[in-house]
Structures are given as structure tokens and as C-alpha cells.
């Protein structure tokens, strides 16, 4: 009886882990490997998409997988005795919200408590466009959860829409990716390397970045660029490459594809300035920004959703208006022509990463929240 009484509460985590290597999948994998002491995580892998190109797109195979996933969740819930559900709701783009409504309406009644983690933004904006019938299912699936985790205060509307009993802001944190790598100060790299990392799609701002780089070329500003990630489609790959060619960028821009591990981090270590001009519908935070900060890079990003909480204007980088290639080019040119500023901002970014976005801090906050909801002894995490 004593051993049973001291058993750690179990939480059933439903979520994608890599591949593909999106921010949500990466963070769920980090969380599963955290080695929490007060709670135990049990995982049911969600695998509707094998690549970034498949995410958010309808497919017959996904419809077939849905009831099978529901069955696996219910089976695992009783086999593991994990009576708290952790689930990452889809954002406002694509068909994920409809998948979630169907799945959650089925599985939530089998759990004592539910935690939503909003890795993606935009759910609250989708609600008003739903029909009456879908709104009823929405409320059944989403309303009244025990806790909602948001990555930035800017994403609070998504949590407020579903009236959780507790809302907690927990920014992402990552293990130090720069450990063991030789990093030359960004301001000393000639020519400076601009880096973008993420899925390559129009709403991530890569077309705007192309226009900004074309403007820099016309002004004879020297640079090289690396756009690292998977194209959202073959059609968009052809479109963007044609755009790059028309702007005279073929000899300065490279596309190494989606990289992971040391190959990915070596690209970060060789770059000078990180570019993230996103206006993606589901963008909630921008994990790659934190990765860049760990490598002492200043960041030029858009003033969009939770991104504005990560980039410190004038200290670790600059925020520019959405879809404004001229403003983006202006800030990039300023940094390229002022290597001392690149160095100072990069050092400030590294300091903030160590203080606010290291994985130990993220893991501690997550464990406190999990323990609080599951009923174990917990720390000092406060609702926001």
C-alpha cells in the first residue's frame, strides 16, 4: 500500500515527435526526455504528417488514422493508468482543428483532467467562422480544461476562448545547441551570412526575405544567405527559385534542405544574422529564434504574435512590420554594415538565452504545472 501511495502521477502525452522537425514536435520530444521526478509521462505518438509539406493538408489516410489514434489513446490510458491528458491543439490554419474536435470529443471523457499546450496559435480566431453545429462540437472538445499552457502572453486569446481553470505562460527553452561547436563572432564573418531556418513557405516570409535580399543586391551590400528547411511543396520551390533568379540571388543564396543534429547546428554556427520575417497563421513563438540566440546571433523578425516577446527591440535584434521588405532590408543593411552592433546584440542574445530560454527553466516550469494539475507536490509556478 505504501509503494502504491508514493507512485508518481502519470500524464498521457498525445503529440507528434520528429520527423518532421517542426517546433512543436521538437519541444514535445525535449519534454518527453526531460526525466521529471514528480510525475511520469506516457506517450502516444501522433503521426498524421510524415513531412512539413503534409501538415495541415487533407488526406484519406489521415481520416483512417483518426479512429485508430482514438483507440490507441483509450487503450494506453487504461493500460498505463494515466488519467491526465496532455494535448497540443492545432492552430487556426489547415484542417487540424476539425481533427482535434472529433478526437477530443471522443477521448476527453476517459480522463480525469486535461491540459492543453498551445504550441500553435490562432484557434480563437477560427471559432467565429464555424457553423452552429461545429461550434457545439468545438465547445464539447475544448471548453473547461483544467490547464492551458501558452508560450507567450500575446497568445492569451487562444486560452481565454476555451475558459480553462488555469492559464500559465511557459516560454520555450532548449538544451544548449552550441556546446562543443566553434563559433566565430558574427560581426567578424566575411561576407556576413544571413540565416533562415524553418519550413519554406510564403507565410513564413521567405518571399519577403527574397525581395529584401534583392534590394540589398541592388545597393551592392555584400552578404551570403542560407535558407534551411523543407519546402512546403514542389510548386512553391519552383516559384521561389524563379523569384530568386529574377532578383539575381542565385550565386549568394543556398538551400541545404531540412537538417538536424550537428549538420543543422554547424549552419547556425557559421551564420551572422538570423532572419525570421514570419506572418504564419499558427506562429506562436518562433523556436528557431531561441536557437539563433544560443549561437550569439542578432535576429531581424516580424512584429507578429509571440515573436515580439522573444526579440528585444534594439537589444537582441529588430522587429519590422509584417510583409514589409523595405523595412527588412533596411535593418539587415544596418547590421551588415555595423559588425560591432552584430557582436553586441549577439552577446546580449546569448545572455538572455542563458537566463530565460534554457531547457532547465522550461522543464522546471512544465513539471511544476504537471504536478499541480495531477495532484502531486509542486513548486511555485503561478498562473498568468
56-115 confidence digits (pLDDT tens): 555 555 667 899 999 999 999 999 999 999 999 998 776 889 999 999 999 999 999 999
pLDDT for residue 217 is more than 50: yes
* Domain contains 380: no
Say whether both 235 and 367 belong to one domain.
no
Helix, strand or coil, per DSSP, at residue 279: coil
- Report helix angle 325-336 to 206-218, nearest 10: 60
Helix, strand or coil, per DSSP, at residue 300: strand
The cell numbers describing 381, all together, are 509556478
* Domain contains 263: yes
Say whether both 20 and 161 belong to one domain.
yes
Residue 21: the pLDDT is 82
Residue 331: the pLDDT is 98
Residue 49: the pLDDT is 56
Compute the mean pLDDT over every residue in the chain, rounded to the nearest whole number: 92
Residue 126: closest CA among 170, 95, 166, 152: 95
The region of weakest confidence among 36-50, 165-179, 314-328 is 36-50
Could you give the dihedral angle defined by the CA atoms of residues 84, 49, 205 and 334, in that order, rounded to the nearest 10 degrees?
70
* Domain contains 180: no
Say whether both 163 and 274 belong to one domain.
no
Residue 221: the pLDDT is 97
The stretch 350-371 carries a mean pLDDT of 98
* Domain contains 239: yes
* Domain contains 181: no
* Domain contains 220: yes
* Domain contains 384: no
Say whether both 167 and 201 belong to one domain.
no
As a whole number of angstroms, the distance between CA 275 and CA 297 comes to 10
pLDDT for residue 352 is more than 60: yes
What pLDDT, in 10s, does the model give residues 36-51?
999 999 999 997 655 5
Burial grade of 273 (CB within 10 A; 0-12, 13-18, 19 or more): buried
Say whether both 158 and 25 belong to one domain.
yes
Residue 62: the pLDDT is 61
- Check: CB of residue 301 under 8 Å from CB of residue 332: no
The cell numbers describing 291, all together, are 536557437
The cell numbers describing 261, all together, are 543534429
pLDDT for residue 2 is more than 50: no
What pLDDT, in 10s, does the model give residues 257-275?
999 999 999 999 999 999 9
Residue 47: the pLDDT is 78
Say whether both 167 and 219 belong to one domain.
no
The stretch 158-168 carries a mean pLDDT of 96
As a whole number of angstroms, the distance between CA 364 and CA 358 comes to 10
Rg of the chain taking only CA atoms, in angstroms: 21
What pLDDT, in 10s, does the model give residues 128-154?
889 999 999 999 999 999 999 999 999
The stretch 291-309 carries a mean pLDDT of 97
Say whether both 347 and 364 belong to one domain.
no
Say whether both 348 and 368 belong to one domain.
no
**Percent of the chain residues topping a pLDDT of 90:** 83
* Domain contains 246: yes
Helix, strand or coil, per DSSP, at residue 117: strand
Say whether both 158 and 80 belong to one domain.
yes
* CATH number of residue 108's parent domain: 3.40.50.2000
Say whether both 87 and 219 belong to one domain.
no
Say whether both 292 and 216 belong to one domain.
yes
- Check: CB of residue 250 under 8 Å from CB of residue 214: no
Residue 96: the pLDDT is 87
- Check: CB of residue 341 under 8 Å from CB of residue 272: no
Residue 383: the pLDDT is 46
Confidence band for 381, pLDDT divided at 50, 70 and 90: very low
Helix, strand or coil, per DSSP, at residue 161: helix
Residue 380: the pLDDT is 42
Say whether both 35 and 141 belong to one domain.
yes
- Check: CB of residue 84 under 8 Å from CB of residue 114: yes
As a whole number of angstroms, the distance between CA 274 and CA 271 comes to 8
Determine the structural domain holding residue 282 and report its residue range: 186-356
Count of domains in the chain?
A: 2
Amino acid at each position: 500500500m505504501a509503494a502504491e501511495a508514493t507512485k508518481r502521477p502519470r500524464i498521457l502525452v498525445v503529440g507528434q515527435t520528429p520527423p518532421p522537425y517542426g517546433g512543436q514536435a521538437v519541444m514535445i520530444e525535449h519534454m518527453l526526455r526531460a526525466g521529471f521526478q514528480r510525475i511520469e509521462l506516457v506517450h502516444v505518438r501522433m503521426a498524421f504528417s510524415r513531412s512539413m509539406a503534409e501538415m495541415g493538408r487533407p488526406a484519406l489516410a489521415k481520416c483512417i488514422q483518426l479512429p485508430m489514434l482514438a483507440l490507441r489513446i483509450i487503450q494506453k490510458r487504461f493500460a498505463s493508468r494515466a488519467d491526465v491528458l496532455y494535448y497540443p491543439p492545432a492552430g487556426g490554419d489547415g484542417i487540424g482543428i476539425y481533427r482535434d474536435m472529433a478526437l477530443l470529443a471522443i477521448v476527453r471523457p476517459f480522463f480525469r483532467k486535461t491540459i492543453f499546450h498551445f504550441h500553435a496559435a490562432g484557434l480563437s480566431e477560427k471559432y467565429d467562422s464555424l457553423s452552429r453545429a461545429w461550434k457545439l462540437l468545438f465547445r464539447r472538445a475544448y471548453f473547461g480544461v483544467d490547464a492551458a499552457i501558452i508560450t507567450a502572453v500575446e497568445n492569451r486569446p487562444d486560452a481565454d476562448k476555451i475558459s480553462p481553470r488555469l492559464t500559465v505562460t511557459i516560454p520555450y527553452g532548449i538544451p544548449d545547441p552550441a556546446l562543443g561547436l566553434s563559433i566565430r563572432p558574427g560581426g567578424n564573418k566575411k561576407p556576413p551570412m544571413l540565416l533562415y531556418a524553418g519550413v519554406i513557405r510564403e507565410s513564413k516570409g521567405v518571399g519577403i526575405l527574397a525581395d529584401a535580399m534583392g534590394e540589398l543586391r541592388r545597393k551592392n551590400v555584400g552578404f551570403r544567405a542560407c535558407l534551411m528547411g523543407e519546402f512546403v511543396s514542389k510548386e512553391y520551390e519552383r516559384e521561389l527559385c524563379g523569384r530568386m533568379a529574377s532578383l539575381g540571388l542565385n550565386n549568394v543564396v543556398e538551400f541545404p534542405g531540412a537538417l538536424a543534429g550537428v549538420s543543422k547546428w554547424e549552419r547556425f554556427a557559421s551564420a551572422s544574422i538570423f532572419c525570421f520575417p514570419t506572418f504564419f497563421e499558427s506562429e506562436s513563438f518562433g523556436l528557431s529564434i531561441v536557437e539563433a540566440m544560443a549561437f550569439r546571433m542578432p535576429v531581424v523578425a516580424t512584429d507578429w504574435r509571440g515573436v515580439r516577446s522573444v526579440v528585444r527591440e534594439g537589444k537582441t535584434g529588430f522587429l519590422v512590420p509584417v510583409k514589409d521588405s523595405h523595412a527588412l532590408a533596411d535593418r539587415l543593411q544596418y547590421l551588415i554594415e555595423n559588425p560591432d552592433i552584430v557582436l553586441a546584440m549577439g552577446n546580449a542574445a546569448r545572455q538572455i538565452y542563458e537566463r530565460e530560454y534554457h531547457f532547465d527553466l522550461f522543464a522546471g516550469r512544465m513539471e511544476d504545472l504537471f504536478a499541480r494539475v495531477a495532484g502531486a507536490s509542486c513548486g511555485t509556478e503561478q498562473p498568468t
